[in-house]
Amino acid sequence: MGLTKTEIFTNSQNRIAAFAKALGHPARVAILQQLFKTDSCICGDLVEEIGLAQPTISQHLRELKALGLIQGSIEGTRVCYCIDKENWTLMKELIVTFLDQDIPAQEGCC
């Protein structure tokens, strides 16, 4: 498989693609929805709420945290997670701008 050559794309294009990849897995969508629903930091309830194994949840949390959509803080032996509001807002702005493009009226195309 070839290299992705991300350096030839704009920062905005790379960020949109990374956000889309993060949202491209239903477990990560479920984790984000649970964090919004709870509206506070969640420490250990995600396994019970989502129904996946702890290592699987941890892997998805790492992906979301690396992207900056969530943040975690250590409380004793547990890591508690919540939505990173600044990066969530940035993601929304980038994706809305991308999706809000209008398709120009073209004759003779397809």
Domain-located, residue 105? no
Backbone angles phi, psi at 78, to 5 degrees: -115, 155
Residue 39 inside a domain? The answer is: yes
CATH number at residue 45: 1.10.10.10
Residue 73 lies in a domain: yes
Per-10-residue mean pLDDT of the chain, 110 residues long, equals 76 94 95 89 81 91 94 81 94 94 74
Tally of domains in the chain: 1
At residue 39, the 3 state secondary structure works out as: coil
Residue 3 confidence (pLDDT): 61
According to the model, what pLDDT value does residue 76 have? 74
CB atoms within 10 A of CB 90: 15
Using alpha carbons only, how large is the chain's radius of gyration in Å? Answer: 17
Inside any domain, residue 16:
yes
Q: Containing domain of residue 40, as a range? A: 9-93
Within a domain: residue 44?
Answer: yes
